[in-house]
Amino acid sequence: MRDCPQGVNSHTKTYGILCRSAATFRQFRVACLGMLARGARVPLYEVSRQRSGRVSQDVAGKVALITGASRGIGAATAQLLAAQGARVAINYRSRAARAEKIAAQIAEAGGEAFPIQADVTDAPAVSRMIDQIIDRWGHLDILVLNASGGMEKDMP
């Protein structure tokens, strides 16, 4: 699709999940669909940016999970959504200090966020993560799948 960021194809846009790889997308989607099958309220929709840089949907009061959000694009996405009024779960795999720093920056700016550890390649860990978010905020509205699922270890 013309308006897709590099690495996001029409299949991932259909499900409203932004992700780096088809394999990671499939793993996470399976975990989320498992949650839906158990009756959890996990509506997923796309959050895209218009040319102005503003989020195109009203996210104020929504609950967002951003995987791989302890640095880079994931951290920037968490900060953007929080600045627009979303409550943000900052997923990280192993760098707790980075995730805590992003959550603190969001809180200092008046937003609401918390770091949450889970390896997105581990379906039971993903289910526990989603359960923790639902326990804390009652539901999950937005999912941004940014984590690489360990792909970078094979990169030169």
Task: Return the pLDDT at 145.
Answer: 85
- Identify whether 155 is part of a domain: no
* Closest listed residue to residue 24, CA positions, set 45, 8, 10: 8
How many separate domains does the chain show? Answer: 1
**Which one is predicted more confidently, 8 or 60?**
60
Assign 27 a pLDDT band (cuts: 50, 70, 90).
low
- Identify whether 134 is part of a domain: yes
Identify the top-confidence range among 28-37, 58-67, 83-92: 83-92
CA distance 156 to 153: 8
- Identify whether 2 is part of a domain: no
pLDDT, the chain, mean: 72
- Is this prediction's pTM over 0.75? no
Question: pLDDT tens digits, residue range 77-131?
Answer: 999 999 999 999 999 998 899 999 999 999 999 999 999 999 988 888 988 999 9
Assign 39 a pLDDT band (cuts: 50, 70, 90).
very low
CA distance 87 to 134: 12
CATH code, domain with 63:
3.40.50.720
- Identify whether 93 is part of a domain: yes
Please determine, for residue 132, whether its predicted confidence score (pLDDT) is greater than 50. Answer: yes
Task: Return the pLDDT at 33.
Answer: 52
Residue percentage of the chain with pLDDT more than 90: 37
Task: Return the pLDDT at 149.
Answer: 60
Q: Which domain holds residue 80?
A: 16-47+55-148
Sheet holding 142-144, edge to edge: 112-117, 87-92, 63-66, 142-144
- Identify whether 120 is part of a domain: yes
